[in-house]
Amino acid sequence: MKVLLFNGSPRENGCTNAALKIIADELERDGIKSKIICVGKENISGVGATSDASQNFVQKIAAEIKKYDGFVFGSPVYYASPNGTFISFLDRLFACCNDFAQKPAACIVSCRRGGAASSLEVLEKYPQFYSMPMISSNYWNMIHGNTPEEILKDEEGVQTMQVLGRNMAWILKCIECGKNNKILPPRIPQKIKTNYIK
Ligand SMILES: Cc1cc2nc3c(=O)[nH]c(=O)nc-3n(C[C@H](O)[C@H](O)[C@H](O)COP(=O)(O)O)c2cc1C
């Protein structure tokens, strides 16, 4: 079993990465492999804009999704919202990839002080749309600081990430155990899109 963790920050070794590493360490302790990829530093244009470079980058990652069993989407908070580039990335990724459904996901944010809850709400919209079981912790999935060193001093935030990692490992093992005992995810029906018009 393997988890892919997305760093939505342009700072590859910043606070979001430090938070993701805490989760990755917990997963490893529970025997689950993981990989962190930094996508926030890429120049990704909005999903409506024609950009072969953006789309090629996203499609390369989309092709890898089937190899993973769980996902963590992490972003810094910018003006009480996730990094705009990361939103563009997620818009493009979820629009072109069919391999996320029914795999567990967690969203996390890193911020200095405020806007964590509104940013989490934005990120959580993606997995919620694709029947992905959401992994929670013993607090909302946020950590506070401006530098990785400060992040590690946020004792409550660190614990939040650790508990999240353990919960992700537990759910992954439950899903695996279910598969081995013929408890399979329900069939996904053909999507009904009504635009509220009958
Ligand atoms: C343009 C910009 C806007 C920011 N807006 C907020 C904000 O609204 N609330 C907040 O608490 N921190 C804000 N921050 C601080 C970052 O969210 C915080 O330092 C975060 O931990 C950085 O994560 P990173 O090192 O992974 O990029 C902002 C930082 C930048 C560069």
Q: Identify the segments of the chain with pLDDT beneath 50.
A: none
Distance, in Å, from the CA atom of 168 to the CA atom of 132, rounded to the nearest integer, reads 12
| C-alpha 147 – ligand 1 centre gap (Å) | 10
Q: Whose CA is nearest to atom 16 of ligand 1?
A: 111
Give the fold, CATH level 3, of 2-180: Rossmann fold (3.40.50)
| C-alpha 111 – ligand 1 centre gap (Å) | 5
Specify the pLDDT at position 85. 97
pTM, to two decimals:
0.98
Atom of ligand 1 nearest to the CA of 77: 17
Specify the pLDDT at position 63. 98
Residue 68 phi/psi, 5° resolution? Answer: -110, 150
Residue 31 phi/psi, 5° resolution? Answer: 80, 15
Q: Are 115 and 150 in contact (CB under 8 A)?
A: no
Distance, in Å, from the CA atom of 65 to the CA atom of 94, rounded to the nearest integer, reads 11
Contacts of 115 (CB under 8 A, 6+ apart): 77, 79, 80, 81
**Relative orientation angle of helices 84-96 and 52-62, to the nearest 10 degrees:** 60
